[in-house]
Amino acid sequence: MQDLLLPHNIDMMHSEKNVAEALFGTIMDIVEKTKDNVKARVDQATLCDRPKLDMRPPASGKAWKKPKADFVLTRPQRREVLEWFQTLMFPDGYAANLRRGVNLSTMRINGLKSHDYHIWLERLLPVMVRGYLPDQVWQVLAELSFFFRQLCAKELSLTVIEEMERMAPVLLCKLEKIFPPGFFNPMQHMILHLPYEARMGGQCKIVGATQLRDVKKSFELNVKINAKLKLPSQRHTF
């Protein structure tokens, strides 16, 4: 393993999806998907110096109170964002119709897939949170969006990749200054290795699962049996 230049081939598509899913659930404060939960706040009080975000002890007969963080949208802001999603229109074949998954009653978007998170993280995230979050938080999220957009570009420059390798640790440190420790798992720390993987292994569209996703439609069109990929085959009666 020590002699291999590329000992691990990290899947760019699933790494990006996991980062985007955690970020979307935290910003939109989705109960079962947010990384800013009570346990994360308790760990944050132990590991970080952020007294304004510590869990506040309850008064008589009341529950513990979790102060609002700068990276979380308020309920009126989340509603405005979802209403904005209902107005989005994309070129044919560019992205899925996100308007169909918007649910204003539960304040979330249902049925998001890997490609939907790909489009959201690289194209929609900076526009979605600008004006709602503080500038220092928005700038870091915009850097993260641009980071993944460069990695997934059709053409990669060696000088750009080398600069991204130097920028990745700094970007991760900026994220750690904003989000609680519970936000970071091994998948978030894959950001450090993605530029090196792109430099040694080539474009993520060629070496990752993104290629299989892009050619899935051609496979389904050329298949000779009465079935579709990832779907059970239909029974024939004679």
Sign of the C-alpha dihedral, residues 18, 71, 63, 181?
A: positive
Q: Is 197 left (phi over 0), alpha (psi -120 to 50) or beta?
A: alpha
Euclidean distance between CA atoms 79 and 210, whole angstroms = 32
Q: State the pLDDT at residue 167.
A: 93
Q: State the pLDDT at residue 13.
A: 85
Q: State the pLDDT at residue 45.
A: 87
Sign of the C-alpha dihedral, residues 113, 107, 171, 45?
A: negative
The total of other beta-carbon atoms located within 10 Å of residue 197's CB is 22
- Whole-angstrom Cα Rg for the chain: 21
Q: State the pLDDT at residue 233.
A: 42
Q: State the pLDDT at residue 83.
A: 96
Indicate the SS3 state at residue 145. helix
Q: State the pLDDT at residue 87.
A: 93
pTM above the 0.85 mark? no
Euclidean distance between CA atoms 107 and 179, whole angstroms = 22
- Based on the number of CB atoms within 10 Å of its own CB, is 17 exposed (0-12), middle (13-18) or buried (19 or more)? buried
Q: State the pLDDT at residue 6.
A: 79
- Contact, 191 vs 171, CB < 8 A? yes
Q: State the pLDDT at residue 123.
A: 93
Q: State the pLDDT at residue 5.
A: 80
Segments of the chain scoring below 50 in pLDDT? 206, 229, 231-238
Q: State the pLDDT at residue 71.
A: 94
The total of other beta-carbon atoms located within 10 Å of residue 236's CB is 6
Which tokens belong to 218? 């051609």
Indicate the SS3 state at residue 108. strand
Q: How many C-alpha atoms does 140 have within 13 Å on its Cβ side?
A: 19
Euclidean distance between CA atoms 62 and 71, whole angstroms = 26
Which tokens belong to 83? 């209403």
